[in-house]
Structure 1
Amino acid sequence: MTDQSQLHRQLLDRMTANGSLRTEPWKQAAAAVPRHEFLRGGFFRLVTGSVPTAWESVREGDEGWLEGCYADESLVTQIAGTIVPEDIRGQIMRQPTSSSTVPSLVLRMLEDLQVEPGAKVLEIGTGTGYSTAVLCARLGEENVTSIEYDEDVAARARTALGHAGMYPTLVTGDGLLGHGEGAPFDRIIATCGVRTIPDAWIEQTRPGGLILATVGGWLGSSELARLTVHDDGTASGPLLGGGVSFMLARPHMPPPLGLLPDFSEGKEREAVIGADVLDNWTSRFVAKSSVPGAQRLTLPRDGRTEDVLIDAESGSWAALYEDGGRWAVRQDGSGALWDAVEEQLGRWHAAGSPVLEEFTVSVTPHGQTIRW
């Protein structure tokens, strides 16, 4: 076995052992797609201990490049919307905007998609093209359509897929609009996060078909949902759990906060629930549905650190701090954000704090609801 073949086999073994890769058809598909072919443009590696976060490029042929390609890790492939590894020597301190998803998550999601032979699949977010290639290996390129928002990312994926001899239908555009020309689809799978399931995805999925997507928000907690589309044009289904996180689709990214308000104003009271509840993934997911427009930040104030929720659109905010084992909250604006969080978490606790796998997502013409 060559080094590459051995690394590939080890990755497949790890995914099988951790339960991500469960059935023989997907094992064969994953075995047919060498991940390094979709990372020949390199990737960015986190600089250990960097503050603020810094990234350094790892290019094909660099030490650790091939091993990195077959690590069961997410690999950043673009920073700040345009910068790729070949553009950088040294370090860069900007925000990642595109990545190659953790292979075990890719295969877990493909398994959870519950496809049958010949199923027609729409993938939202082509990325490097790796997951697209695995879909082609399993279902045939004629049954796979993939949409990528970023033209440069789409061009690199098209090239990589072509080198692999795979020619699915590739579309450059807004994946939130789906691809009406190819509808209806048996399955839609999204490799970007969304705040709400777009209507177009439901309209373009045949009744009985499935949509697999990560639903989240701006508080940094999200979950994978599998929705069945019904005859009446609605969709519903469970959260699958596991703490799945993707970069949000660019149109669903939070707005800039702009000039911050004066956090010394507002009405102060003792908080029933402290801000430390937002450090927990599940309770943060529960809380975000009560304040869907809120973002979280921490600020130094009067020798202490305050946790702040702020809704840039409404101007509402809540600032919390701990003093002597008690939490206090100041709030101002058109909506009392922390009142809403405490009410939502109170209902969840009263129900026995159900785990996320007990939650159900429903989408109707009136909007999206998540219930336990």
Structure 2
Amino acid sequence: MTDQAQHLRTQLLNELTAVGVLRTDEWKAAAGAVARHDFLRGGFFRNAGGAAWEPVLQDDPGWLEACYRDESLVTQIAGTILPQDIRGQILREPTSSSTLPSLVLRMLEDLQVKPGMHVLEIGTGTGYSTAVLATRLGDDLVTSIEYDSDVAGRAGAALWEQGIHPTLVTGDGLLGHAEGGPYDRIIATCGIKTVPAAWMEQTQPGGLILATIGGWLHASELARLTVHEDGTASGPLLGGQVSFMLARPQSPPPLGLLPDLGAGTERQTGIGADVLDDWTARFITQFAVPNAQRLMLTRDGRNEHVLVDVVTGSWAAVYQDSGQWIARQDGPDLLWDTVEEHLDRWHAAGKPSVEKGTVTVTDQGQTLTW
């Protein structure tokens, strides 16, 4: 490693220690032994304004300095496109990235790992967090699974070049990796809509699952769940509005043909659609209507906030009329009634912060209580 890279890495870790992200000497030492730039030699994309992205390659000015800023760096666009594939700009969605170091290290601290524990990582990505894990615990105690075979191949090459040899698996991380279990800890570096049953089955009773629970309304929080003897799991939300790209198999499907939004029954509602502008309220709404997607439509000269359940076909349209919020809904489930019920319980509890919430996962689904 160059002196400049070593200086930049030390400076970054000292900054993260000063703000309380790095809380233990063990994780600081592990992170200090791993060069993040070695996992970004293929370059990355930087935002060029709005939805535009432009490549930054290893030989470009500022590449090394960017590798050691506390920023997420996009490494893949649209599922296949790499920085070296582009000249100029591209207007597509990011699909893989190197997570900002402060979040990687915060999550490793929050995982509460002890020496000798076996860890399954969901989402190898560039391999940086895998390297830090393996440096701390040892190669034989770390298994990492990556959905994208090309991403997995690049991560494996970067790890092996540094002499780090954890167990690497290419496959659907939502299924875990039963052959390597049971695990003491599972950590997910992708967002999930629901906690997979496979993860609970593959975790030792008393073990922990650390994952970002989110959804199609784009609000998410980090949860640390303890797996119980009866196969259920529960635990607190840790706060911070942590956000990851959703696991690809849980990405929202296309809405397709919309239902007849002029049908249904209308009523006044005490909770307007503007509540969905609040992160916590939107997070709670995802537990209420987990299969709903949100869109804005203009009908009859007014803006309507629409929720559509892509599984049942139920829908709700909420709009303002003379200062009063009106909800129109139809389908087997009354979506806005369900949203109101969950938000009313939150209001009755005094609108506590997410850190006061507890997530419980059973074979019947997952719930959020205060």
Same structural fold, with TM-score higher than 0.5 when normalized by the shorter chain? yes
- The residue identity in structure 2 corresponding to 1:258 is G
Q: Contact between 2:234 and 2:360, CA under 8 Å: does it hold in 1?
A: yes
Alpha-carbon deviations, 1:299-332, whole Å to 9, x = none?
Answer: 2344443221111222222222234433222222
What residue in structure 1 maps to residue 351 of structure 2?
A: 353
Pairs within 5 Å for 1:174-323: 174-323=172-321
Percent of residue pairs bearing the same amino acid type: 69
Distance 1:17 1:296 in 2: 40
Deviations 1:163-199 (A, max 9, x none): 1110110000111111111111111111111122111
The aligned counterpart of 1:90 is 88
> Which amino acid in 1 is paired with 2:262?
S
- The answer (yes or no) to whether the contact 2:360–2:368 under 8 Å persists in 1 is yes
Match runs of 1:1-372 below 5 Å: 2-48=3-49, 50=50, 53-372=51-370
Q: What letter matches 2:100 in structure 1? A: V
Q: Return the alpha-carbon distance in structure 1 between the equivalents of residues 104 and 356 of structure 2.
A: 23
Tell me which amino acid in the other structure corresponds to 2:5. Answer: Q
Q: How many residues are treated as equivalent by the alignment?
A: 369
| Alignment RMSD (CA, Å) | 1.5
Q: In 2, Cα distance between the equivalents of 1:92 and 1:258? A: 26
Corresponding residue SS for 1:109: helix
Q: Distance in 2 between matches of 1:127 and 1:221?
A: 22
Please say which of residues 296-305 and 342-351 is displaced more in the overlay. 296-305
**Any conservation in 1 of the 2:284–2:368 contact (CA below 8 Å)?**
no
Deviation at 1:234, TM superposition (A): 2.1
Identify the range of structure 1 (8-17 vs 168-177) with the bigger mean alpha-carbon deviation: 8-17
Bigger mean CA offset, 36-45 vs 314-323: 314-323
Return the alpha-carbon distance in structure 2 between the equivalents of residues 46 and 91 of structure 1: 9
CA distance in 2, matches of 1:11, 1:350: 43
Unaligned runs of 5+ in 2: none
Range that drifts further, 222-231 or 303-312: 303-312
TM-score (norm 1): 0.95
Unaligned segments of structure 1, at least 5 residues = none
The one-letter code sitting in structure 2 at the alignment partner of 1:353 is: K
Distance in structure 1 (CA, Å) of the matches to 2:135 and 2:303: 51
- TM-score (structure 2 length as normaliser): 0.95
Distance 2:300 2:19 in 1: 47
Deviation digits for residues 139-159 of structure 1 (CA, Å, limit 9, x no counterpart): 111111100010000000001
Tell me the distance in 2 between the aligned counterparts of 1:154 and 1:335: 41
Greater Cα shift, 109-118 or 294-303: 294-303
